[in-house]
Amino acid sequence: MSAPSQKDLANALRALAMDSVQKANSGHPGMPMGMADIAEVLWNQFLHHNPNNPHWVNRDRFVLSNGHGSMLLYALLHLTGYDLSLEDLKNFRQLHSKTPGHPEFGITPGVDTTTGPLGQGIANAVGMAIAEKALAARFNTEEFKLIDHYTYVFCGDGCLMEGISHEACSLAGTLELGKVILFYDDNGISIDGPVQGWFTENIPERFKAYGWNVIPEIDGHDPSSIAAAIAKAKQSSKPSILCCKTQIAFGSPNKANTAESHGSPLGEAEILLTKKALGIDYPAFEIPLDISAAWNKKSLGKKWEEEWNQQFETYQHKYPEKARQLQSYLSESLPENWKDLISEIANRWIMEEPVCATRKASQLVLNALLPHLPFLFGGSADLTGSNNTNWSNAKIFSKDNPLGDYLHYGVREFGMAAIMNGIALHGGLIPFGGTFLVFSDYARNAIRMSALMKQRVIYVMTHDSIGLGEDGPTHQPIEHLASLRLIPNLDLWRPAGPIETLIAWEQAIERREGPSVLALSRQNLAFDVLDKALLEKIRLGGYVLKAHNKARANIIGTGSELELAIKASEALDSIGIAVNVISIPCVSRFLRQNSAYRNSVLDPKLFSVVVEAGVSTGWFAFGNVKAVVGLDHFGESAPAKAIYQALGITSEAIVNQVKNLLGESV
Ligand SMILES: Cc1ncc(C[n+]2csc(CCOP(=O)(O)OP(=O)(O)O)c2C)c(N)n1
Ligand SMILES: [Mg+2]
């Protein structure tokens, strides 16, 4: 019997995709069938990975940006030998299966990032390639190429229509990320039909303009043209795009080239016809042994990783210090004296009482901590001087300086966020990046993806309220605090002074299981915590700042409005009304504490009044909140103090609410 042909190997992918989608009666067979030949060449001839260890640090990364074609990836992972069985494929799209509707990081071994929201996978890949380049520059030597892998990405028309592909690919061109190799599935079809009606730009010219290495007009069903193009792309010092002409649902006599095949099962009858046309003569989910043997990469993968391990051992002998550092980067472990560092800064600040904006305090934290955390990788979307995301020894990462640790992302908030996801997913670096809080909307879906993928990405979002003043309502976030708090597994910190800012940074850095947003003020704040005993309480997300044993109400404040809460409490005190003042810098963290702690902070017998310069929505679900001194409409353009006064975010307003609720005359 002759060895299976490349067509046979690609057809196994098609068969598994057709059958799994049919069995689930849901899914997307068209793309896997259209990209099967490309995937076969890439995974059988080029991809370096180890199915026995999906976490091998120097594996080539593979990103399926057109994530609706998830069955292509699952079939590849199954056939090459990952821990993904035929049973798992039969459970495609079923509850708690390892084969969810779209590829999900952390659920399926071998899935390097979660995709489905089109376009973001490309940006994730750009982030992975940035991480690869940065780590290679720090650790490789002439003789040892420990970090040396490609990042391969599949994308479709949809990904390239999405604006984020422009953001990410433009930056990738400037940074000359030659290890990115993007396969464009140029099938001329998206959900609404043939794309000529809505997508006609010249993709090769567009990518040439970005400075990419463009390989146009590849026949995406011809293995030798595909292989030649990949070999050429690997030689380029620029990122490469391989424009592959394909047929969606290739092989299906009646559904190929139709939008219908994009997202619906082909149907039993059409599957029979397709299998006949392709020469697939085996039953559903029964891949012949010679085909599965030809696909299997377990022994090759083992060999590749073992070779790498040997290389690492020799490196370790020759450069013990560098090897130790690389290990500490890869484990992202914090220095042993980490908590002492935090305490030292806190002690100093409690003595010095710096009065500043929290964005400034954030920079002071960076200056103090960054020398001890070389694996932090900073940046800003063109607002470095406003976000204060740089520190005194920050070095700019660029095509000529891959040793840099600070990236100018340019005005690309969404791109930055999705690139940071890629950096975090790659491993070895912890990314943080800044923009104005109001533009978190631009980045929002990528922030959501950081949370879904449980990635340690730190968003530094300054100018966090009307307190930014004169730039006016276009720049004043109103609904953003509440709306970011709605994202599960995202910790939003809104510190009220330098010490809370320090703890917010500490917690964001320590938090391995998800992203954090630091919402920071532009304006100077008068408040700071001056009691060291409170550090531990801040870490819990909410705490009693000022307690009164005869308290009749709680005043809750966050960030820049905490000082108004304190002022109001003093005014109330002076007229014989005792209140507690509660600071809740991180609502989600506070809500994760047990009820005993929460009740010890927010006495359930008392009502609460909240002050926060943002929409009131959200707070009413909280404890006994009876009133919110907030803003349920857009802001104004004026100096900050005037806006607070004009919009009624004042200590008097808080006092009046408390008196009202106590039934006392105002
Ligand atoms: C951001 C985003 N918008 C919309 C969708 C819904 N959607 C999924 S696939 C698709 C069409 C994609 O067309 P193309 O990339 O050409 O895929 P093909 O049909 O060729 O596989 C759309 C609109 C999505 N997944 N993500
Ligand atoms: Mg398409």
Between the CA of 119 and the centroid of ligand 1 the distance, in Å, is 9
C-alpha R_g of the chain? 28
> 3-state SS string over 420-473?
HHHHHHHCCCEEEEEEEHHHHHHHHHHHHHHHHCCCCCEEEEECCCHHHCCCCC
Between the CA of 116 and the centroid of ligand 2 the distance, in Å, is 14
Q: Name the residue with the closest Cα to ligand 1, atom 19.
A: 190
The Cα 175–Cα 134 span in angstroms is 11
Q: Which ligand 1 atom sits nearest the alpha carbon of residue 102?
A: 25
The Cα 210–Cα 191 span in angstroms is 27
Look at residue 313 and give its three-state secondary structure: helix
Between the CA of 157 and the centroid of ligand 2 the distance, in Å, is 5
Between the CA of 215 and the centroid of ligand 2 the distance, in Å, is 18
For the Cβ of 248 lying below 6 angstroms from any atom of ligand 1, the answer is yes
- Determine the pLDDT at residue 622: 84
Catalytic residue status for 270: no
For the Cβ of 477 lying below 6 angstroms from any atom of ligand 1, the answer is no
For the Cβ of 262 lying below 6 angstroms from any atom of ligand 1, the answer is yes
For the Cβ of 68 lying below 6 angstroms from any atom of ligand 1, the answer is yes
Between the CA of 68 and the centroid of ligand 1 the distance, in Å, is 7
Look at residue 252 and give its three-state secondary structure: coil
Q: Which ligand 1 atom sits nearest the alpha carbon of residue 262?
A: 19
- Determine the pLDDT at residue 22: 98
DSSP strands (E only) in 2-150: 61-64
Asked if residue 330 lies in contact with residue 428, where contact means CB atoms within 8 angstroms, the answer is yes
- DSSP tag of 396: B
For the Cβ of 101 lying below 6 angstroms from any atom of ligand 1, the answer is no
b/e per residue, 268-307, with b = 16+ CB within 10 A? eebbebbbeebebeeebeebeeebbebbebeeebbebbee
Asked if residue 612 lies in contact with residue 604, where contact means CB atoms within 8 angstroms, the answer is no
For the Cβ of 157 lying below 6 angstroms from any atom of ligand 1, the answer is yes
- Determine the pLDDT at residue 218: 98
For the Cβ of 115 lying below 6 angstroms from any atom of ligand 1, the answer is no
Q: Which ligand 1 atom sits nearest the alpha carbon of residue 185?
A: 20
Please tell me the number of the ligand nearest to residue 31's CA.
1
Q: Name the residue with the closest Cα to ligand 1, atom 13.
A: 190
The Cα 186–Cα 188 span in angstroms is 6
- Determine the pLDDT at residue 353: 81
35: which 2 tokens? 């990209």
For the Cβ of 220 lying below 6 angstroms from any atom of ligand 1, the answer is no
The Cα 239–Cα 177 span in angstroms is 5
- Determine the pLDDT at residue 527: 84
Of the candidates 52, 189, 659, 128, the one whose C-alpha atom is nearest the C-alpha of residue 419 is 128
- Determine the pLDDT at residue 611: 98
Between the CA of 227 and the centroid of ligand 2 the distance, in Å, is 22
Q: Which ligand 1 atom sits nearest the alpha carbon of residue 116?
A: 25
Mutation to probe ligand 1, out of 68, 104, 452 (largest number of atoms < 8 A from CB) = 68
Q: Name the residue with the closest Cα to ligand 1, atom 23.
A: 191
Q: Which of 40, 132, 413, 506 is catalytic?
A: 413
Residue 350 CA from chain centroid, whole number: 35
- Determine the pLDDT at residue 1: 64
For 392-446, the pLDDT digits (tens) are: 999 999 999 999 999 999 999 999 999 999 999 999 999 999 999 999 999 999 9
Look at residue 49 and give its three-state secondary structure: coil
For the Cβ of 66 lying below 6 angstroms from any atom of ligand 1, the answer is yes
Mutation to probe ligand 1, out of 38, 64, 118 (largest number of atoms < 8 A from CB) = 118
Amino acid (one-letter) located at 615: V
- Determine the pLDDT at residue 528: 81
- Determine the pLDDT at residue 162: 98
Under-50 pLDDT residues of the chain: none
Asked if residue 255 lies in contact with residue 266, where contact means CB atoms within 8 angstroms, the answer is yes
Asked if residue 649 lies in contact with residue 466, where contact means CB atoms within 8 angstroms, the answer is yes
Domains of the chain: 6-302 (3.40.50.970), 338-519 (3.40.50.970), 543-662 (3.40.50.920)
Mutation to probe ligand 1, out of 31, 104, 191, 203 (largest number of atoms < 8 A from CB) = 191
Q: Cα torsion at 16, 19, 23, 27 (round to 10°)?
A: 70
